[in-house]
Amino acid sequence: MRTIYERIIPLAEAEKDRVSKETAEKKMRYEEEMQKLYQLLVRYETFLKEQDQIGRIELVDSQYRERARDVVKQQIERQQLFVTQAKNVYEKAQLALKEAMIEEKKFTKLQENHFIEVRRELAIVEQNQLDELSLLHFKRGQTI
């Protein structure tokens, strides 16, 4: 006969594994968003460096570079929002994983305590039986 813990613990482990996979996926998504932001920042920095290095630029070329730089700046701002959202989702997933791990640990500990209690009860029963057997043996010894 299986104990309730033997039925619950596999469910808790499966939940922990599922949440762990989700957390890993969300972490990967967060890292991807951070990488995109990094690439945009490098691109924007390149525009600024080019602008500093070139002293006199034709007006049309300068306007083109300025517009391109502004577009990249807008992309950076938008990407920062994506990064923040991905970070929030990842942090929620981390909390869910922590809760799932605690839940699994709780049931495992309850099972361990249950087994310890069962063993203690069995030891008491065994000791009582040994005591009774000793008494019977002792009584037989007195009657002979």
Nearest-angstrom CA–CA distance, 36 and 29: 11
- Residue 59 has a pLDDT of 47
Domain count, the chain: 1
Range of the domain at 23: 4-103
Residue 117 included in any domain: no
Q: How many residues does the chain have?
A: 144
Q: Are 27 and 87 in contact (CB under 8 A)?
A: no
Residue 138 included in any domain: no
Question: Which pTM was predicted?
Answer: 0.66
Query: How do residues 45-89 score in pLDDT, each as one tens digit?
Result: 887 787 766 655 554 466 777 888 889 999 999 999 999 999 999
Q: Are 100 and 21 in contact (CB under 8 A)?
A: no
Q: For 19-23, 45-49, 109-113, which range has the lowest pLDDT when averaged over its residues?
A: 45-49
Residue 120 included in any domain: no
Nearest-angstrom CA–CA distance, 35 and 82: 11
